[in-house]
Amino acid sequence: MKRIFVTRRLPEPVEALMARSFDVTLNVDDRPLSPSDVVAACRGMDALVINATERLDAAAITGLPDRLKAVGTYSVGHEHLDLDALQARGIPVVYTPDVLSASVADNAMLLMLGAARRAREGQALIVEGRWKGWGPRQLIGTEVTGKRLGIFGMGRIGREIARRARAFDMEIGYRNRRALEAGAGLYFADEEKFLSRSDILAIAAPASPETRHWLNAERIARLPKGALVVNIARGSLVDDEALTAAVESGHLAGAGLDVFDGEPDIHPAYLRLDRIYVQPHIGSSTLETRLAMARHVISGLETLFAGSDPPNRLV
């Protein structure tokens, strides 16, 4: 059996599934690892299964042992890996596209509804014992039904969000590298027009140096007053100062965020702004998805070890 090191504890049935195919070494205490910890743990391993919590930069990649013949990232995002450096070392990488899209899109709807219906404030009212009973002025929110949804990044996850939003009679507009087939929604070549018609903006684009702080003060100012922002992609796409200032000023009615720049050390304003409905990066946290992600990584690594090219190969 090939020996693999897995950087984080996976749900029990997932670890059991991996153990059927590989001789697995686990990071027993589940502490996120530094690049040099990862390199050290790879000694004697044939493959590494890494998570988005561990970074492999160019310097670390030069230190990987020659025995290591493949990397599988247990994620669809891959900004934590220096793919060029891995390619230069001749180490192929597989990832987990497609299988997270439904879970992440479900979570986008949760965030959208949570922000629109002030779920954080309602939850706090009850669990803190402050609720005095129903009242017609209580927690007035906004309907998502019929609103204009702007999706930034119309990849697999963006499309799944659009599919769900149509059930809420939302009008779909999107920005993307290219226009998609008719029926996907209204494509906006013009960013200003896209922003100014987005009652709800959903960020679903990958993290990259080009998208860092894409949602900045200038772009937020172009959103209609009272708009909502949802982010299920990566925290780095949002300028936290600008977003929290816009919620404080009332320009934005709220936000629903699953991901944060520098998580888990998040901007302190997120701890107190109760119009911002927050979740701790749970987009793909369903057992169905975790198992499907594992099947992707396992079959990708097995295919590589058999000398072929898996469909989920990144480099």
| Binding residues for ligand DGY (CB under 6 A) | 52, 75-77, 100, 283-284
Reply yes or no on whether 234 is catalytic.
yes
Minimum distance between the CB of residue 281 and ligand DGY, rounded to whole angstroms? 6
Contacts for 18 with CB less than 8 Å, ≥ 6 apart: 4, 6, 10, 24, 49, 294, 297, 298
Among 78, 117, 159, 234, the one annotated catalytic: 234
Instruction: Return the closest-CA partner of residue 21 out of 300, 312, 315.
Output: 300
Minimum distance between the CB of residue 96 and ligand DGY, rounded to whole angstroms? 6
Residue 240 gets which letter from DSSP? Answer: H
Which residue, 222 or 313, has its beta carbon nearer to ligand DGY? 313
Which residue, 80 or 197, has its beta carbon nearer to ligand DGY? 80
Q: Where are the beta strands (DSSP E) in the chain?
A: 3-6, 23-26, 47-50, 70-73, 93-94, 148-152, 171-175, 186-187, 200-203, 227-231, 252-257, 276-278
Q: How far is CA 18 from the centre of its chain?
A: 23
| CB atoms inside a 10 Å sphere around CB 134 | 6
| CB atoms inside a 10 Å sphere around CB 1 | 10
Which residue, 26 or 195, has its beta carbon nearer to ligand DGY? 26
Among 159, 281, 290, 296, the one annotated catalytic: 281
Among 213, 263, 295, 313, the one annotated catalytic: 263
Tokens matching residue 131: 């609720």
Which residue, 197 or 313, has its beta carbon nearer to ligand DGY? 313
| CB atoms inside a 10 Å sphere around CB 173 | 23
Q: What is the C-alpha separation between 200 and 228, in angstroms, rounded?
A: 5
Tokens matching residue 286: 């369903």
Minimum distance between the CB of residue 75 and ligand DGY, rounded to whole angstroms? 3
3-state secondary structure of 53: coil
Which residue, 25 or 53, has its beta carbon nearer to ligand DGY? 53
Minimum distance between the CB of residue 263 and ligand DGY, rounded to whole angstroms? 10
Answer positive or negative: Cα dihedral of 102, 25, 7, 313. negative
Which residue, 155 or 173, has its beta carbon nearer to ligand DGY? 155
CB 234 within 8 A of CB 77: yes
Which residue, 207 or 247, has its beta carbon nearer to ligand DGY? 207
Minimum distance between the CB of residue 78 and ligand DGY, rounded to whole angstroms? 8
Angstrom distances, CA of residue 161 to CA of 172, 173, 216, 231? 10, 12, 23, 12
Minimum distance between the CB of residue 176 and ligand DGY, rounded to whole angstroms? 19
Minimum distance between the CB of residue 86 and ligand DGY, rounded to whole angstroms? 17
Reply yes or no on whether 281 is catalytic.
yes
Catalytic residue numbers, as ranges? 234, 263, 281
